[in-house]
Amino acid sequence: MMRKQDTRIRILYVDDEANNLLAFQAGFRRFYEIYTATSVAEGLAILNDHEIHVILADQRMPKVTGVEFFSIVRKAHPDPMRILITGYTDLGALVEAINSGEIFRYIKKPWDDLELKTAIQNAYEVYGTRLELKNKIRELERTNDELNRFVYSTSHDLRSPLANILGILNVAKLQSPSEDPTGFYDMIESCVNKMDLFIHKIIEYYKGIRVDNVNEVVDFHTLVNDSISLCNMQNPQLVFETKVDQTAEFHSDSFRLSLVLNNLISNAVKYQRSDEERPKVSITVKADKKEALIFIEDNGVGIIEDHLNKIFQIFFRSTDYRNGLGIGLYIVKEALTRIGGDINVNSEFGKGTRFTLKVPNHNEQEEPEVAETAA
């Protein structure tokens, strides 16, 4: 579908031969707004001062070829479409230029007016489509940013009244400690706690996608111990088995690694079987100058095999065993992606789950290894 033109197509033609420029102006000035230049410097000056839609350039020019000129132009002015005019058939150079995106197409000299006009029209339509797409993407990013800010702000504002509800509920329980025959107090407290957890996860997600990556020194002993401290109150009977082997200075994003560990360990604690006599969670870390391998394993309820490829989707819940929210593992995946990590899961329903994580060491100061040579 042809794009509706509200302005004339603006064309820049760069050619060291003045006769070619005059011939182009004579044949096309009724249709287009034309700018001409006899050198690369003049062409760049025009591009800096005017919004150009299509650039034509001769291939054989002194000092710089047309393809080389387009390579320069593309970096500073990527939007205009580029058409090469050539009287020589250098097929290898043309194919390379087209494949690398330096030119939209090429026209042979002497050009056919209809062919050149069609090429310009097609190039302008592509220019317009790309411009509309960029504007849509920019608008979508702005809308998404506003939505994220709204969700984050609303989530923060909701936590205060929830805290007030819990406070009033606790006061009511103290005044009438034995009067709750219907169990309404416990139901209200359960719903409020679930909503508060949901809001907390939304805030975690927002921070995970909005906070800039920080490359800092990571101490896995501290990260693992802090995560266990946050989670072990959920089940005092649960045993944590930890082994951290960090043999090199490790650089990554501590905040996102904490998000990952907190969510995975919390899930391992939450989804334990009620009939398990010795509930446990094993956490193993092997970190060296290249990467960290992290294994988190539990003997809980496990995950149905058909669900293993869906558990990282947002709001997907594999089980109703503990009224999960379906957000935690999505946050884990997003956080790992942002630091270049990866995660795999193995599970047997009714026996437990094992997560395997790979996180690269972003130690920019690490010296490249030098191969030893025999004396």
Record the pTM. 0.55
- Determine the pLDDT at residue 91: 65
Rounded Cα gap, residues 284 and 263, in angstroms: 16
3-state secondary structure of 114: helix
User: From start to end of the chain, where are the E strands?
Assistant: 10-14, 33-37, 54-58, 81-86, 105-108, 216-218, 239-246, 250-252, 280-287, 291-298, 342-348, 352-360
Nearest-5° angle of CA 339, CA 323, CA 177?
Answer: 120
Order of strands, edge to edge, in the sheet holding 105-108? Answer: 33-37, 10-14, 54-58, 81-86, 105-108
What is the structure's pLDDT at 128? 93
Q: Specify the residue for token string 């020019």.
A: 61
DSSP conformation class of 319: -
Q: Is 213 helix (H, G, I), strand (E, B) or coil?
A: coil
| Inter-CA distances, 70 with 53, 110, 224, 360, Å | 14, 21, 53, 38
Cis ω on the peptide bond leading into residue 360 (within 30° of 0)?
no
Let me know if 320 is exposed, middle or buried by CB neighbors in 10 A (0-12, 13-18, 19+). exposed
Closest by CA position to 252, among listed 229, 223, 228, 225:
223
Instruction: Copy the structure tokens of residue 189.
Output: 């407290």
Q: Are 37 and 14 in contact (CB under 8 A)?
A: yes
Q: Helix or strand or coil: residue 106?
A: strand
Radius of gyration of the chain (CA): 32
Strand order in the sheet with 352-360: 239-246, 280-287, 291-298, 352-360, 342-348
3-state secondary structure of 339: coil
Give the integer Cα–Cα distance in Å for 25 and 35: 9
Rounded to whole angstroms, the Cα distance separating 268 from 258 reads: 15
Quote the CA–CA distance of 335 and 316 in Å, as a whole number.
17
Per-residue pLDDT of the chain (375 residues; tens, 9 = 90+): 444 445 789 999 999 999 999 999 999 999 999 999 999 899 999 999 999 999 999 988 888 888 888 888 888 899 999 998 887 666 666 666 666 657 888 888 889 999 999 999 999 999 999 999 999 999 988 887 777 777 777 777 777 788 888 888 888 778 776 677 677 777 787 777 777 777 777 777 777 667 777 899 999 999 999 889 878 777 778 899 999 999 999 999 998 998 899 889 988 988 888 888 899 999 999 999 999 999 999 999 999 888 888 888 877 776 655 556 678 898 899 899 999 999 999 999 989 999 999 999 998 654 444 444 333
Q: Which of 124, 119, 14 is nearest to 72 (CA)?
A: 14
Q: What is the DSSP code (8-state) at residue 354?
A: E
Q: Strand, helix or coil at 50?
A: coil
The C-alpha atoms of residue 207 and residue 214 are separated, in whole angstroms, by 13
Q: What local confidence, expressed as pLDDT, does residue 371 receive?
A: 44
Indicate the DSSP class of residue 178. Answer: T
User: What is the structure's pLDDT at 372?
Assistant: 44
Helix (H) or strand (E) holding 130: helix 113-175
Q: Report the DSSP pairing between strands 10-14 and 54-58.
A: parallel
Number of helices (H), then strands (E), belonging to the chain: the values are 9, 12
What pLDDT is attached to residue 114? Answer: 93
CA 55-56-62 angle, to 5 degrees, is 115
Q: Coil, strand, or helix at residue 353?
A: strand
DSSP 326: S
- 36 pairs with which residues across the strands? 13
